């Protein structure tokens, strides 16, 4: 499946179709916290990251997440990706450690999906 850059609201049905074609009930996504957009549909977060970089996004603003469509609103976003490991931004693990960045990601995802 091709990577899709989401700039406007995407329907639950579209997300479910992407999930079915890949991981069942999970969709990988990379969020640009500056442009407030996200890329979905890649097999790897790196694929989505590359699409956003080609679209003019800055590396420092890109964060990988997983969306679990079968979980409740509180648990459906998982902040886990290899692309999140960046010691230069004080993020030394696969998770998004900064609570302000996590909050911004949640706001963007909700704006684009709910």
Distance CA 82, CA 43 (A): 13
Number of domains in the chain: 1
- Write out the residue range of the structural domain in which residue 99 sits: 4-113
Give the sign of the dihedral formed by CA 41, CA 47, CA 53, CA 58.
positive
Number of C-beta neighbours around residue 84 at 10 A:
22
Q: Burial level of 23, CB count in 10 A (0-12/13-18/19+)?
A: middle
pLDDT tens digits for the chain (114 residues)?
Answer: 589 999 999 999 999 999 998 888 999 999 999 999 999 999 999 999 999 999 999 999 999 999 999 998 778 999 999 999 999 999 999 999 999 999 999 999 999 998
């Amino acid at each position: 499946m091709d990577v899709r850059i989401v700039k406007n609201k995407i329907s639950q049905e579209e997300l479910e179709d992407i999930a079915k074609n890949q991981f069942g009930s999970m969709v990988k996504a990379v969020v640009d916290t500056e442009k407030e957009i996200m890329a979905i549909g890649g097999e790897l977060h790196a694929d989505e990251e590359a699409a956003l970089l080609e679209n003019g996004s800055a590396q420092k603003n890109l964060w990988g997440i997983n969306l679990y469509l079968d979980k409740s609103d509180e648990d459906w976003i998982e902040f886990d990706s290899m692309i999140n490991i960046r010691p230069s931004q004080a993020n030394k693990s696969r998770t998004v450690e900064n609570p302000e960045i996590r909050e911004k990601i949640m706001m963007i995802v909700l704006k684009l999906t709910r």
